[in-house]
Amino acid sequence: MQVNSLRNLLAIILIAGCAQLARAGGMESLESFVKTVKSGRAEFSQVVTAPARPGQSARSKTSTGTFEFLRPNRFKFLYQKPFEQSIVADGQTLWLYDVDLNQVTARKQAQLLASTPAALIAAAPDLHALQADFNLQDAPDKDGLQWVVATPKARDGQLQSVRVGFKPGNGGSQLAVLEILDSFGQRSVLTFSKFEVNAALPADAFVFKPPAGADVIRQ
């Protein structure tokens, strides 16, 4: 009886330990990514799906482009298709440039990024900074990825939740997918490819100068 009881106890401990490891997979990947990946470069595809209206199917639109970041607080999304658009954070100012409209919007970066998806993947210096603005928890592994769900602690924003998917590997966790759900029910899924970890990116690569003749709006 004692041997069987000991075996049962060991089995329970092992099962509990495995469950903890499984639950910790996404969080461990997030912590590793924030701690060890100080810069990066990738291509991305973004699919935005609006909520279906009564009697209609949900509508989606797809965009593609490139993404670069230099931790902390510098990143750049360059949308190439179907329309050219730039989103650049230089550490002080967040710039949005719409090529078709020839319009630039400039906003103070510190007021915007804390509870945004950009903080999760590019801006935050460490996991502790993320936990100040997000409730973070592991989600079950899916599609070969380890997932974390981030819910903003602020209740007054337009962001409902973010799911971040990491691809585990020998070289560390690699950012693979970002799923964003806003308060209006719109879902945006960014899939990253050709991710280059700790790319050599100088700070001046994130300097943005409004094009000549562009209408600049400062908020």
Residues 6+ apart with CB under 8 A from 156: none
Given a cut of 60, whether residue 45 has pLDDT beyond it is yes
Give the whole-angstrom CA distance, residue 212 versus residue 209: 9
Q: Which residue has the higher pLDDT, 49 or 133?
A: 49
Compute the distance between CA of residue 68 and CA of residue 48 in angstroms, rounded to an integer.
20
* The pair of three-digit structure tokens given for residue 29, joined into one six-digit string: 């990947």
- What confidence score (pLDDT) does residue 115 get? 64
Interval 165-187 mean pLDDT: 86
pLDDT at 121 over 80: yes
- The per-residue pLDDT for 18 is 32
Mean per-residue pLDDT over the chain, rounded: 83
Q: How far is C-alpha 35 from the chain's CA centre?
A: 15
Task: Provide the residue type at 63 as one letter.
Answer: S
Give the start-end residues of each E strand in 71-199: 74-81, 85-90, 93-98, 103-108, 134-142, 145-152, 159-167, 174-182, 187-197
pTM of the shown model:
0.80
Task: Give the count of alpha carbons within 13 A of 53, CB side only.
Answer: 3
Cα distance between residue 161 and residue 23, in whole Å = 19
What the block records as the tokens of 135 is: 């409730």
